[in-house]
Amino acid sequence: MQLNGQTALITGASSGIGAAYAREFAARGADLVLVARGEAAMRALAGELRGAHGRRVEIVPADLAEPGAADLVAERVAALGIEIDLLVNNAGFGMHGDFAGADAGRITAQIQLNCVALVDLTRRFLPGMVARGRGAIVNVASTAAFQPLPHMAVYGATKAFVLSFSEALYAEARPAGVKVLAICPGATETPFFDVAGEDAAVGRKRTPEQVVATTLSALGRGRPSRVDGLANAVLAVVTRWAPRRMVIALAGRLTAPREGATV
C-alpha cells in the first residue's frame, strides 16, 4: 500500500501508535499533519521524518479533550492549504478504577477525546473524501469495545461507540470509494498505561508497529474492523457468544485494580 502524493492527518501523534503510523506512512510516501498536545515531541518526530524521507510534515499542537479543538485543527489544516486523504483518529486515554470514585472532569475529558473529537474530525474531513471519490479513515478502537469493562466502564463504552460508529460509516462511505476501518488493539507497548496504570493491561503486549501492520493489511482488504493479534481476535469472538454475565464477571476479574491503586 503506497501513499505517494497523499496526506495523512494523525492524532495522538507524539508517541506510541500515533508515532508508529507517522513513521510508516512517511516511509510509504505520505506527507503528514501531526496533531497532539506534546509539541516538543512532535517537532522532534517531524524533523526525523523530514530528514529520513523528505516528506512535508506539519504539526498542529492541540488538546482534543477541549471542546471545539477538532474544529480548530480543521481550520488550521485549511489555512495550510492541505487536503486530507487519510485520517487516523488515534488520540485517546483510559481511566482505571471504579466509576463512583472517578473525577467528573476526567470522565468528561475522556468522552470528549475518545468520542466527540473523533466524530468532529471525521465530520470535517469525510465530506471532502467523498467528493473526491477516494480516501480512508482509521479509527483506533480497542478490544475493550467487545464487552463491558468493569473498573474501566467509561473507557470500554467509548471504544464500543468507536467500533459501532466506524462500522456504520464503512457502509455509508464505501459506495463513494472511501474506506473506513476500526482497528482494535489489545494491550500495546505505549504511554497509554502511564495514565491508565499497568493494572489495566490484559494479556501480552504487542508493539505499535504490529498494530500499524494490521491496519494496513485490513485497509488493503477493505475490512470494516479488525482486531490486532490472533489471541486478541479469538478473545473478541468468544466474548460475543459467551453468556453476558460470565463475560462481565471475567472482565471484572481481569481488570480489578490491585490494592492501593487509584482512579
Sheet strands (E) in 29-105: 31-36, 57-61, 86-89
Nearest to 19 by CA among 209, 178, 155: 209
Give the integer Cα–Cα distance in Å for 233 and 25. Answer: 25
**pLDDT above 70 as % of the chain:** 92
- What average pLDDT does the segment 163-188 reach? 97
Q: What is the pTM of this model?
A: 0.90
Residue 192 has a pLDDT of 59
Please check the confidence at residue 107 and state whether its pLDDT lies above 50. yes
CB 211 within 8 A of CB 229: no
- Specify whether 155 is catalytic: yes
Q: Pick the catalytic residue from 25, 93, 146, 155.
A: 155
Cβ density class 164-181: b for 16+ within 10 Å, e for less: ebbbebbeebeeeebbbb
The C-alpha cell at 211 is: 498494530
CB 91 within 8 A of CB 117: yes
- What average pLDDT does the segment 173-182 reach? 98
209, amino acid identity? E
CATH domain 7-255 topology: Rossmann fold (3.40.50)
* Cα distances (angstroms) measured from residue 137 to each of 130, 140, 190, 199: 11, 10, 22, 31
* Cα distances (angstroms) measured from residue 193 to each of 30, 40, 47: 29, 21, 27
- What average pLDDT does the segment 144-155 reach? 94
- What average pLDDT does the segment 56-61 reach? 98
Give the integer Cα–Cα distance in Å for 4 and 206. Answer: 28
